[in-house]
């Protein structure tokens, strides 16, 4: 009887960059969320976009860590981070998403 050992999936190259984008995004999201609450008309929309971008970037990192393609979540999360004025994390997420494609 043959024993079959499942192969471990390796991480995609952009997994580290996506994790860095998520951490930087979270660090900048906290003070920006306080600023967004001061600006009532624009603030809630930017706060929602920021939360969605954090979730998408975390999802992209999780998929890239498992060895799956995470280009769509990484790029969309990065674009949403750019829209919510989180420029550094947005650029990192776009680069990480493109690398993990």
Q: Report yes or no on 69 lying in a domain.
A: yes
Q: Report yes or no on 72 lying in a domain.
A: yes
- Distance in angstroms (rounded) separating the CA atoms of residues 71 and 14: 9
- Identify the pLDDT of residue 52: 93
Report the first-to-last Cα separation within the chain, whole angstroms. 38
Q: Is pTM beyond 0.85 here?
A: no
Q: Report yes or no on 7 lying in a domain.
A: no
Which tokens sit at 64?
A: 């890239």
- Distance in angstroms (rounded) separating the CA atoms of residues 100 and 38: 37
- Distance in angstroms (rounded) separating the CA atoms of residues 58 and 63: 9
Domain that residue 70 falls in:
15-99
- Identify the pLDDT of residue 40: 75
Q: How confident is the chain (101 residues) per 10-residue block, as mean pLDDT?
A: 70 86 89 78 82 93 89 92 90 91 76
- Identify the pLDDT of residue 1: 65
Q: Report yes or no on 24 lying in a domain.
A: yes
- Distance in angstroms (rounded) separating the CA atoms of residues 67 and 69: 7
- Identify the pLDDT of residue 101: 76
- Distance in angstroms (rounded) separating the CA atoms of residues 69 and 99: 9
């Amino acid at each position: 009887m043959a024993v079959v050992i499942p192969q471990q999936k390796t991480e995609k190259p952009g997994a580290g960059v996506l994790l860095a984008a998520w951490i930087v995004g979270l660090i900048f999201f906290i003070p920006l969320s306080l600023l967004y609450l001061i600006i009532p008309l624009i603030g809630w929309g930017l706060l929602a976009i920021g939360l969605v971008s954090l979730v998408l970037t975390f999802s992209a990192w999780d998929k890239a860590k498992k060895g799956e393609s995470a280009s769509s979540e990484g790029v969309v999360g990065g674009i949403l981070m750019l829209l919510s004025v989180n420029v550094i994390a947005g650029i990192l997420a776009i680069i990480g998403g493109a690398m993990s494609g």
